[in-house]
């Protein structure tokens, strides 16, 4: 093993000689990479330990560690000397600055902005309402009877707050009008729940505004669904409501088709499938054909506002008619941007969020 120790002594002398020629931070970094880097000379010399006889392995290892310590000590001293010679102790003026992270809108906020802008150009205003609701606005006024399975506690987030939250029944933010008598007697049970649909704001708008009405309502809704790639317990809906004289299903279909073509492209195909909802009659499901997936994708439900819903808001169904739709905003965003898992929206993974 004498040749090995001589080789290591040569390495120590060569490292010291090379360091003596270093005068800048760039040269010092190259020196570090050459001797101390992951693919440097010292790393390569570690193979000498394996090649040494069993009784010499420990000695060779100790020698290598001693040389590494010497090089590290000399390296640190040289770095300090270079820094001091620059006139700014502890500061390397050649280092580039750090660019601060720049935030941006969440993808869902971006999509909501795109949708409200689009419908704004079509003559719609934006309304909003409380997320904690009473049974009148969430069920009764929407023609959902007490016996309907949609009111089952297992399908809703009921809140144990009694009647203490009477202030949650204040009207939508785009109106300062007072509530009607129907709203005042809204919920004799005092029950409150997290709203299951943005249709609740339809009721609040119709309670506080006279026709003609033309609004879109983006907002969060809550349902105790099992979280998976297509379901969350909290998600966003975009509701639209039009109430006026002589409003027909043709108006609804033309508006939906105009929206789909404007947002997904003129080549997008739309179909309406007959369906049932307590608050619309007739009712339909809206599907859009996506060429890349070669299948129809459901966007949501729509239909003509049920006469009982109009009556609950003191609007005469013999004079006025209306239509409404409710589309899932996450679903729209997933189709628009090719997102495959709805959970990405809430996981706060910067790698996902910075793509938008």
State the binding site for Mg(2+).
281
Q: Which residues pair with 280 in a beta bridge?
A: 277, 305
Instruction: Report how far apart, in Å, the C-alpha atoms of 219 and of each of 129, 198, 320 are.
Output: 8, 7, 26
Residues making up the chain, counted from first to last? 356
CA distance 140 to 191: 13
Residues making up the binding site: 281
What does the angle CA 147 – CA 153 – CA 157 come to, to the nearest 5 degrees? 130
């Amino acid at each position: 093993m004498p040749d090995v120790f001589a080789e290591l002594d040569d390495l120590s002398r060569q490292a010291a000689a090379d360091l003596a020629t270093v005068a800048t931070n760039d040269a010092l970094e190259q020196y570090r990479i050459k001797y101390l880097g992951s693919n440097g000379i010292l790393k390569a010399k570690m193979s000498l330990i394996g090649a040494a006889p069993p009784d010499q392995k420990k000695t060779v290892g100790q020698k290598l560690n001693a040389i590494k310590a010497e090089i590290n000590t000399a390296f640190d001293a040289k770095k300090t000397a270079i820094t001091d010679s620059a006139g700014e102790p502890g500061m390397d003026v050649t280092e580039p600055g750090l660019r601060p992270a720049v935030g941006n809108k969440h993808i869902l906020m971006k999509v909501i902005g795109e949708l409200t802008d689009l419908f704004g150009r079509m003559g719609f205003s934006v309304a909003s309402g409380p997320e904690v609701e009473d049974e009148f606005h969430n069920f009764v006024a929407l023609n959902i009877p007490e016996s309907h399975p949609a009111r089952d506690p297992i399908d809703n987030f009921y809140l144990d707050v009694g009647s203490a939250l009477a202030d949650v029944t204040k009207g939508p933010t785009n109106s300062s009008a007072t509530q009607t008598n129907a709203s005042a007697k809204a919920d004799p049970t005092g029950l409150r729940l997290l709203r299951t649909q943005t249709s609740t704001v339809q009721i609040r708008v119709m309670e506080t505004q006279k026709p003609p009405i033309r609004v879109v309502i983006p907002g969060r809704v809550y349902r105790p669904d099992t979280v998976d790639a297509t379901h969350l317990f909290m998600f966003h809906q975009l509701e639209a409501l039009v109430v006026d004289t002589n409003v027909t299903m043709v108006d609804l279909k033309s508006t939906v088709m105009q929206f789909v073509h404007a947002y997904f492209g003129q080549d997008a195909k739309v179909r309406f499938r007959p369906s049932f909802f307590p608050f619309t009659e007739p009712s339909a499901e809206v599907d859009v054909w996506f060429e890349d997936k070669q299948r129809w994708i459901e966007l949501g439900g729509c239909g003509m506002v049920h006469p009982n819903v109009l009556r609950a808001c003191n609007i005469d169904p013999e004079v006025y008619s209306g239509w409404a739709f409710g589309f899932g905003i996450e679903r729209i965003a997933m189709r628009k941007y090719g997102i495959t898992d709805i959970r990405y929206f809430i996981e706060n993974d910067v790698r996902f969020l910075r793509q938008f």
